[in-house]
Amino acid sequence: MVEDINFLLVGNSRLHWAENLNNNYSFFHTKRNNKIPQTINLDNLIWAAVGKLPNLFLKEENEIKTQDIKLKNLPEYFGIDRALGCLEALNNVENPYQKDLLIADCGTTLSLTKLTAHGSIVGGQIIPGFLTQLRSMEKYTKNLKAPKTYEIPSQNFLVKTEDSMLKGVSNALIGAINLSFDPAKDILIICGGDSEFIGSRLKQKNKEIIITPNLVMQGMISHFNSLNKLL
């Protein structure tokens, strides 16, 4: 690990940070218009972007791009977040039975990406994420308003409109993952901002699911360290 090296992933709705604190990384997230944390030195910041770049002076030579990631059958147009998540899962998820890896990144979108145990990209799906679906309903319908809190009801059929929206969106995301996941053939790894509440519901039926919210940021760190021949 290199001291004073920090990491930034520019997302579609937030900035995702990994800060080196005494040779351990702290992960946190800020809004795009927030000020840069005072402890972050932009000169030593390794970064990647899937969203529009904020008004920061980021060094071009410090950017990680999709074409830098060594995976088989990886298209250059794949988002760098998906590529880094795949790389981290391939290198650090125990896979004794050589199953395929299915990565569900739960953020602004739900991206599903499958790769083989040998590191070859199979393909994926992209679905509007939890908040994206709720806000879309508010934007494109007359009478639906996005809920202010996000506690998912336990029952399937609700009378209150906000509860119905929450349950419907939750079921849509969980259903999409379940339809794509075959436990006999796949290892499911769930990451991203909404991974905890989506993953916890999936784990009720399959205890083998891996929930690791910061998979992509860990992938950035691992990729950088491997290039510098560091552990």
Within a domain: residue 213? yes
pLDDT band at 229 (very low <50, low <70, confident <90, very high): low
Rounded alpha-carbon distances, angstroms, from residue 11 to 18, 108, 109, 115, 169: 14, 8, 11, 22, 21
Per-residue model confidence (pLDDT) at position 55: 83
Nearest to 80 by CA among 168, 12, 19: 12
Look-up: residue for tokens 């992509």?
216
Residue 4, pLDDT above cutoff 90: no
The percentage of the chain sitting over the pLDDT mark of 70, rounded to a whole number, equals: 97
pLDDT at 179 over 90: yes
Domain count, the chain: 2
Taking Cα atoms as reference points, which of 137, 122, 127 lies closest to residue 176?
127
Query: Quick one: pLDDT at residue 1?
Result: 47
Least confident stretch, 16-25, 76-85, 95-104: 16-25
Dist CA 11 CA 8 (whole Å): 9
Q: Is the pLDDT of residue 231 over 50?
A: no
- Predicted confidence at residue 207, as pLDDT, reads 81
Range list of H helices, 24-159: 80-92, 130-140
pLDDT at residue 39 tops 90: no
Which CATH number is 185's domain given? 3.30.420.40
Within this chain, do residues 136 and 56 fall inside the same structural domain, yes or no?
A: no
Contact 28, 19 (CB under 8 A): yes
Q: Does some domain include residue 103?
A: yes
Cα dihedral sign for 7, 9, 10, 14?
A: negative
Residue 37 pLDDT? 87
Among residues 65, 87, 116, the one where a domain terminates is 65
pLDDT band for position 23 (cuts 50, 70, 90):
confident
Residue after which a domain boundary falls, among 30, 49, 65:
65
Domain finish residue from 65, 97, 112: 65
State how far the Cα of 49 lies from the Cα of 15, in Å rounded to an integer.
Answer: 9
Kindly state whether residues 126 and 183 are assigned to the same domain: yes
As a whole number, mean pLDDT of residues 80-104 equals 97
Mean pLDDT of 74-92: 97
Q: Residues 100-106: what's their mean pLDDT?
A: 98
Residue 1 lies in a domain: no
Query: What is the model's pLDDT at position 3?
Result: 62
pLDDT digits (tens, 9 = 90+) for 192-212: 999 999 999 998 888 889 999
How confident is the model over 20-44, as a mean pLDDT?
89
225 in any annotated domain: no
Q: Which domain holds residue 155?
A: 67-218
Does 228 map to a domain? no
Please check whether residues 59 and 128 belong to one and the same domain. Answer: no
